[in-house]
């Protein structure tokens, strides 16, 4: 109990950041598990959105490494980057490699000259 009283505001923020970052990592698990167990092309998982979040996590990771130089921040943002990369990669894998449509054709618009 004395340890909590002796901590200053910055230490409380660091502890809260570490705890919330760790808890938020568990938020990725259901999405990853769904993609791993998928039996279809994962069409409901948007590649564009996850790609944007992956790039955002990459920029945050590089910022943490080169500007902040803070190991806890680098670790948490690095884990976030890995999770976003994994979800993006699994979605692309499911959609274009694992469950690609064999012999499927792209629907054509009806010809305007057809009577």
- Residue 47's pLDDT band (boundaries 50, 70, 90)? very high
Could you tell me the pTM of the whole model? 0.78
CB 82 within 8 A of CB 88: no
pLDDT digits (tens, 9 = 90+) for 81-106: 999 999 999 999 999 999 887 655 54
Residue 108 has pLDDT above 70, yes or no: no
Task: Provide DSSP, 82-111.
Answer: HHHHHHHHHHHHIIIIIT--TT--PPPPPP
- pLDDT at residue 111, rounded to an integer: 59
Tens digit of each residue's pLDDT (9 = 90 or more) over 18-42? 888 889 889 999 999 999 999 999 9
**Predicted local confidence at residue 110, as pLDDT:** 60
- Separation between Cα atoms, residue 70 and residue 73, nearest integer Å: 5
Residue 63's pLDDT band, with cuts at 50, 70 and 90, is very high
């Amino acid at each position: 109990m004395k340890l909590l009283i002796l901590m200053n505001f910055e230490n409380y923020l660091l502890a809260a950041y570490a705890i919330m970052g760790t808890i938020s990592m568990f938020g990725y698990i259901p999405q990853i598990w769904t993609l791993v167990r998928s039996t279809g092309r994962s069409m409901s998982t948007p590649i564009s959105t996850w790609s944007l979040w992956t790039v955002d996590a990459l920029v945050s990771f590089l910022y943490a490494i080169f500007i902040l130089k803070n190991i806890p921040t680098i670790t948490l943002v690095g884990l976030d980057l890995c999770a976003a990369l994994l979800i993006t990669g699994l979605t692309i894998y499911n959609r274009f490699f694992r469950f690609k449509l064999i012999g499927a054709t792209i629907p054509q618009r009806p010809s305007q000259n057809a009577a």
